[in-house]
Amino acid sequence: MKLLCAILFSVFILTVECETSYALAGDLGFFGGVSEGRRLPKTIETLTTGEARTESNPNQPRAFVYKEMIFLSGRPVEFTGLIEMTGAAGVTGPNGSYTQQFSVYASPGTEPGANIERTVVFNINYRTRGNELIKDYTLQDWTETITLDGETFALDTGQSGFDVSIIEHNAPGITYYRGDVSRRAVYTSNDERYTLDSSDAFYGYNCAWSASETHRTDVTLLAPYWQTQYQIRPSATVSKSLEYTSNEPEAIGFEGNYKEVIHRDAGLKYDILQPALIYPDQPPTGGAFITQRNTFEQLASTDLSFLKGSAAYEDISRLYAMQILEGDPKFYAPDQSITRAQFVTALVKAVKLPVQTLAAETRGRKAQSPPIVFPDVLPTRPDYPYIMSAYRNGVAFGRDFGTFYADEPIERQEAFTIIIRALGLSGLGQPAPAFADDDAISSWAKRDLSAAKRLGIIKPYSDGSIRPHNMISKAEAAALLTGMTDYMRACLPANYSDHLVNYTL
């Protein structure tokens, strides 16, 4: 997968040379189990509701199918039920607090061999610093009863504790987060004590094309006459793939069209590092999975027959299907240079940055006139809202003397820098030289181009150069933008899910 991702995002350079349910933090719970996670919104839902990356009402209760492995008997027993989150889930200012409740319970109408009745209430204090949000969870209440093979394990609340801390990095096109959980659960059964100590590190992200959350939980369970150690790796991932289907009937008004397929995968794997003495022959590995069906959305077809035979045909077709490119395709001449405004507009659509209408831009302003940041980007331009969105989100700025140069061709270093900023990956760049013509790269672009090279997003030419001031054709821009969306669809989920789930001590 790592090689595939490098190929997906280096396709632009190769072309030049050769020619939601979102699985947001907490949706899996903090107990070593896994939920199905939220789904990604379909394009039509985003267009009709305007809600691309958030729920319309985050205070609504959210319940998901949930699975957890219970080891209190000395062997893993699977529990299947529901996890529900209630209480405020939104941040309304730079600093503040809110309360949230997590409940785990059996699905209605089922008679499981193992059952969990759990309610955990946190007070969440949050603070912001720049584009980062830090959340600290303080335990307010925790009640829990586990029934296993007719035996009841009751939580001793006085001896148990729970801490969660999360940091979110809000890049323009992606929200990344990581967190840590420390939990001690002391249970009593028939006057005997069972102490479960766990530490959990988890990672996740969400964007328009995919979302993933993966935990790595290390557990030590001390029972009256035995103990066991194990590691659990729950993961939930959702992603959109783009597939083309040719029509079978000959007498139909269009040859075929693209469809988006929303894939959802959720499950957990475990490794028993020290088996309980009472079950010495217990298999050392296992897992549990939540079966989910794929969903589909048909995308509109566009007549691009005049481009057939062109190397850019597929890339441009995909961008029109995703509505990243719009209007008459005959004006998207592959050999022409793409302007700064055209590239920025397409990128804003590709990562689905929020775009304000002119009414929103002027709301609360005394003069009721839209802001003019760049003298050559006036509100009368159709691309004004997109350029302003890129500016507000720190993706694109002007050139000399505050002018955007909207209708000038975009340089290679500008295009790559805008991509890296949108993905929020500038921090991976190094100040050391990365290319043979490093001296030709503008100082503001060096770190972003270094990050792009490190991630396999770009590769130098055969002479080691990057040619930062060369212009980009529309064909090359289409390859770069489709490569970026493919990276967000496939490579990010692989990085967050496959790598961490397959990791073991």
Quote the strand ranges of 149-280, DSSP E: 151-155, 161-170, 174-189, 192-207, 210-222, 227-246, 256-274
User: What band does 455 get if pLDDT is binned at 50, 70 and 90?
Assistant: confident
pLDDT, averaged across the chain: 87
pLDDT at 109: 63
- Contact present, 134 and 126 (Cβ < 8 Å): yes
Q: pLDDT tens-digit profile of 485-505?
A: 999 998 888 888 765 555 443
What is residue 442's predicted lDDT score, i.e. its pLDDT? 92
pLDDT grade for 113, boundaries at 50, 70 and 90: confident
430 falls in which pLDDT band (50, 70, 90)?
confident
- Greater confidence (19 vs 130) lies with 130
459 compared with 316, residue with greater pLDDT: 316
Q: What is the pLDDT of residue 94?
A: 86
CA–CA distance, 187 with 153 (Å, rounded to integer): 6
Between the alpha carbon of residue 173 and those of residues 24, 321, 452, the distances in Å are 15, 20, 16
Confidence of residue 88 (pLDDT cuts 50, 70, 90): low
| Side-chain-facing half-sphere of 354: CA atoms under 13 Å | 14
Element (H, E) at 67: strand 62-70
CA nearest to 416, candidates 386, 389, 441, 398 = 441
Half-sphere exposure of 273 (CA within 13 A, CB side): 11
| C-beta separation of 368 from 331 below 8 A | no
> pLDDT over 70 for what percent of the chain?
87
459 vs 68: which has the higher pLDDT: 68
Helix, strand, coil: what percent of the chain each, to 5? Answer: 25, 35, 40
Helix (H) or strand (E) run with residue 499 in it = helix 499-501
pLDDT of residue 488: 92
Q: What is the pTM of this model?
A: 0.88
Query: pLDDT at residue 13 above 80?
Result: no
Radius of gyration of the chain measured on its C-alpha atoms: 26
Which pLDDT does position 434 carry in this prediction? 82
Residue pLDDT, tens place only, 173-211: 999 999 999 999 999 999 999 999 999 999 999 999 999
* Token pair belonging to 3: 């090689």
Split at pLDDT 50, 70, 90, the class of 24 is low
Say yes or no to pLDDT of 37 above 60.
yes
Confidence of residue 150 (pLDDT cuts 50, 70, 90): confident
Q: Tens digit of pLDDT for each residue in 324-377? A: 999 898 888 999 999 999 999 999 999 999 888 766 555 555 556 788 999 999
Tokens read off for 4: 């595939």
Reported as a pLDDT band with limits 50, 70 and 90, residue 21 is very low
Place of tokens 């000399």: 400
pLDDT band at 120 (very low <50, low <70, confident <90, very high): very high
Question: Each residue of 382-412: pLDDT tens digit?
Answer: 999 999 999 999 999 988 878 999 999 999 9
Residue 257 dihedral angles phi and psi, to the nearest 5°? -160, 165
The interaxial angle of helices 2-18 and 474-486, nearest 10 deg, is 180
Residue 461: alpha-carbon gap to chain centroid: 31
What is the per-residue pLDDT for 4? 45
Mean local confidence (pLDDT), 94-98: 90
Q: What is the pLDDT of residue 365?
A: 56
Give pLDDT, residue 499. Answer: 54
| pLDDT classification of 57: cutoffs 50, 70, 90 | very low
- Give exposure, 136-152, as e/b (b: 16+ Cβ within 10 Å): bbebeebebebbbeeee
The pLDDT, as a whole number, for residue 324 is 94
Q: For residue 379, which phi and psi values (nearest 5 degrees)?
A: -60, -15
CB burial of residue 294 (10 Å; 0-12, 13-18, 19+): exposed
Question: Rounded to an integer, what distance in angstroms lies between the CA atom of residue 124 and that of residue 304?
Answer: 52
pLDDT at 53 over 70: no
- What pLDDT, on a 0 to 100 scale, did the predictor assign at position 428? 87
- The answer to whether 180 and 39 have CB atoms below 8 angstroms apart is no
Instruction: Find, among 71, 268, 65, 79, the residue nearest to 185 by Cα.
Output: 71
